[in-house]
Amino acid sequence: MRTLLHPARTTPALHDITLLLARIAIGIILLAHGWQKYSEFTLDGTTAAFGDMGVPVPAAAALFATVVEILGGLALILGILTPVFAALNIVNLLGAFLIVHAGNGLFIDNGGYELVLALIAGLVLIFALGAGRFSADRLITRRLRAS
């Protein structure tokens, strides 16, 4: 029985469109944050900021975060190597959560973890469900199966 609280199963098309929209939204956010670390703050500035926040090995962490966010954002948008880049960004954001944001409460205006938590939740779903039909991963998988 279909009700507001128990809708019928989603169609494959709705499932794939939902994954596409989630990948694009999260990918844009990651790309923007990574690009900001690289271009606006520069890697040296990001390294200094990470050091001030108590991030261990700040130069390596700054490079990792910048690269994973930029490449991961692009990869999620395109849907290529989706589980790999979702996992890498989950690790990156868990570090940000534990080292920087957890002690500041929920709200972002106090340096809290609300954005980090929302991104982790979305990335976990994408990691678990995959990229969906509208992705480069799907095209690659199809070609591999055909050969």
Instruction: Return the pLDDT at 10.
Output: 74
Q: What does the alpha-carbon distance between residue 111 and residue 8 come to, in Å, rounded to a whole number?
A: 40
Residue 147: how many CA atoms within 13 Å on its side-chain side?
A: 6
pLDDT at 145: 85
Summarised one tens digit per residue, pLDDT across range 50-70 is: 999 999 999 999 999 999 999
Neighbours of 76 (CB within 10 A): 29
DSSP-derived letter for residue 4 is S
What pLDDT does residue 31 have? 98
State the pLDDT at residue 5: 66
Place of tokens 């975060």: 65
Contact 81, 135 (CB under 8 A): no
CB-based contact 95:61 (threshold 8 Å): yes
Helix axes 82-96, 58-78, angle to 10 degrees: 140
What is the model's pLDDT at position 8? 62
3-state secondary structure of 107: coil
User: What DSSP string runs through 61-116?
Assistant: HHHHHHHHHHHHHHHHHHTSSHHHHHHHHHHHHHHHIIIIIGGG-S-GGGT-SHHH
Q: Residue 6's pLDDT is what?
A: 61
pLDDT at 1: 53
Residue 87: its pLDDT value, please?
Answer: 98
The pTM of the full predicted model, rounded to 2 decimals, is: 0.91
Per-residue confidence (pLDDT) for residue 147, from 0 to 100:
78
- Amino acid type, 107: F
**Which residues of the chain fall below pLDDT 50?**
none
Which pLDDT value is given to residue 2? Answer: 62
